[in-house]
Structures are given as C-alpha cells and as structure tokens.
Amino acid sequence: MSDQHKPLVGVIMGSSSDWDVMQNAVNILKQFGVPFEAQVISAHRMPDEMYAYARSARARGLRAIIAGAGGAAHLPGMVAAMTIVPVLGVPVPSKYLRGEDSMLSILQMPKGVPVSTFAIGEAGAANAALTAVAMIASTDQALAEKLEAFRVSQTEAAKAMKLPLE
Ligand SMILES: Nc1c(C(=O)O)ncn1[C@@H]1O[C@H](COP(=O)(O)O)[C@@H](O)[C@H]1O
C-alpha cells in the first residue's frame, strides 16, 4: 500500500438504511488499515452516478468493490456489468422477505458477469471485507501477516469459549 490515502476498496450500498449491516465491512477494513471509500450508490435511484462510479473504478485504483443492497438488489450485478474490478455482493436483510430476495437477486447472475455473493447480513458484510483484505494481501506481505494473526487470535478466542454449565 504505497499511498495510504488512495482507496483500494470501494464500499457502496443502495441506501443509508443499509449502513447498520454495511458498517461491518467498513470496520474490518479499518481494523486492517486498508484504504477505502464508502458511499450510497443506487442502481435504481441514481443510475447515472452508478454508471460513473463503476466505469471509473479501475482507473481510480480500486482492487475490489463491496456492494450491499436489499430487496431487488440489482446494484452489485449492474456494477459488475460495467467494470472488471471484482464485485463482492452483500445481501442486506429486507423487511418482508428477510433478505432472501436480496440474496437471490445478487446470487443468480448470468454466466459471464460474476458477483461473489456472501451471507445475508452482518456476517456477509464482514466476510466480504475479509475477502477484499485477502485479495490485497496476495501482493502485500505485511497485510498477509495481519490476516494470519487475525485468524490465530480468532482460533484462540474460540478455544477459550466456555459454556455456562462449567
Ligand atoms: N436494492 C436497492 C438498490 C439497487 O439495487 O439499486 N437501491 C436501493 N436498494 C435498496 O432498497 C432498500 C430500501 O431502501 P430505503 O430504506 O432507502 O427505502 C435498501 O436495502 C437498498 O439497498
């Protein structure tokens, strides 16, 4: 990471109402010190802005785009249609269908335009960010070591878990 201020990961979401979930991605990027940008971009409500964002992503140096959306979640797929920067899709839980609609909208892409799709909700947002970290770590040894250390401490925490019976 030569320039700490130049974002390597773009985090976008269809609405500010997605923030509760999507902040889990931002928190991971902050934890690993990966430069990122985060903003609301909607395929449905801001198609021109979405177009400009996706078309400029690669030239601006983004290595991954984490795109979260709920309901008819077309944002990740439409962004993926307009850039070869890998898109990591996060299904945001929806009010009536609890995110199953979001998940299927993001997951069922036609052959040739991939969106890597993660679990519905917070775990998906965090795991999308961990995947972006892993992608960047493939050419950044210091980041790779941080990711290894994260896994070790997670394992230690799991091994130390106690049940109330004990
Ligand atoms: N799925 C999309 C897109 C899109 O895919 O372009 N734009 C907004 N949305 C979603 O609409 C839901 C409700 O949004 P509001 O809470 O603003 O009404 C959000 O989960 C958002 O991601």
- Would residue 156 count as lying in a domain? yes
Ligand 1 within 6 A of CB of 49: no
Backbone angles phi, psi at 24, to 5 degrees: -65, -30
Mean of the pLDDT values across residues 99-128? 98
- Would residue 165 count as lying in a domain? no
pLDDT in tens, 10-25: 999 999 999 999 999 9
The percent of residues above 70 in pLDDT, for the chain, comes to 97
Confidence of residue 5 (pLDDT cuts 50, 70, 90): confident
How remote is the CA of residue 78 from the centroid of ligand 1, in Å? 14
ipTM score here?
0.99
- Would residue 63 count as lying in a domain? yes
Ligand 1, atom nearest to 70 Cα: 20
- Would residue 125 count as lying in a domain? yes
Range of the domain at 30: 9-160
Ligand 1 within 6 A of CB of 9: no
How remote is the CA of residue 68 from the centroid of ligand 1, in Å? 9
**Number of domains making up the chain:** 1
pLDDT at residue 166, as a whole number: 67
Confidence of residue 100 (pLDDT cuts 50, 70, 90): very high
Mean of the pLDDT values across residues 146-156? 98
CATH number for the domain including 59? 3.40.50.1970
Mean of the pLDDT values across residues 75-91? 98
- 18 annotated ligand-binding residue: yes
- Would residue 85 count as lying in a domain? yes
- Would residue 80 count as lying in a domain? yes
pLDDT at residue 4, as a whole number: 58
Tell me the two tokens of residue 86: 């890998």
pLDDT at residue 1, as a whole number: 37
pLDDT in tens, 24-69: 999 999 999 999 999 999 999 999 999 999 999 999 999 999 999 9
Confidence of residue 2 (pLDDT cuts 50, 70, 90): very low
- 15 annotated ligand-binding residue: yes
- Would residue 54 count as lying in a domain? yes
- Would residue 22 count as lying in a domain? yes
How remote is the CA of residue 42 from the centroid of ligand 1, in Å? 7
